[in-house]
Amino acid sequence: FIDKIFELRDLVNSMPKTYEQEGKGDQAIIHLHYFIGNCDWWITEKDSEFMQRQAFGLADLGYGAEYGYISIEELIENGVELDFYYKPRTVAEQMKDRA
């Protein structure tokens, strides 16, 4: 389990910061996936501050995915789970699999 924690730490440290994937559209890479029930959050960029509090990506609360800023603190406070086994992929690949 500790190996997975270090793997996730390295993934987050190497993620693009806010605006670094701007203009890539469906070719932007999703790095993290959070979920609870039928709700999903896919993180494409992390906050540029040292302590990541906000991210950018897609949120699907059961009505279709939309881009926006996502509060990581709110996700954690509400019991949303991090998908430890999610593999980075493009937005296009992820949305194709959702259809």
- pLDDT tens digits, residue range 46-68? 986 766 688 999 999 999 999 99
Q: How far apart are CA 32 and CA 30, in angstroms?
A: 6
Query: Among 45, 41, 42, which Cα is nearest to 56's?
Result: 45
What pLDDT is stored for residue 98 in this prediction?
75
Average pLDDT over residues 15-26: 92
What pLDDT is stored for residue 95 in this prediction?
92
Distances (CA, A) of 50 to 37, 72, 84, 87: 30, 14, 22, 24
Q: Which amino acid is at 30?
A: I
Contact 86, 32 (CB under 8 A): yes
What pLDDT is stored for residue 12 in this prediction?
87
Q: How far apart are CA 24 and CA 40, in angstroms?
A: 21
Q: What is the pLDDT of residues 84-96, one digit of tens each?
A: 999 999 999 999 9
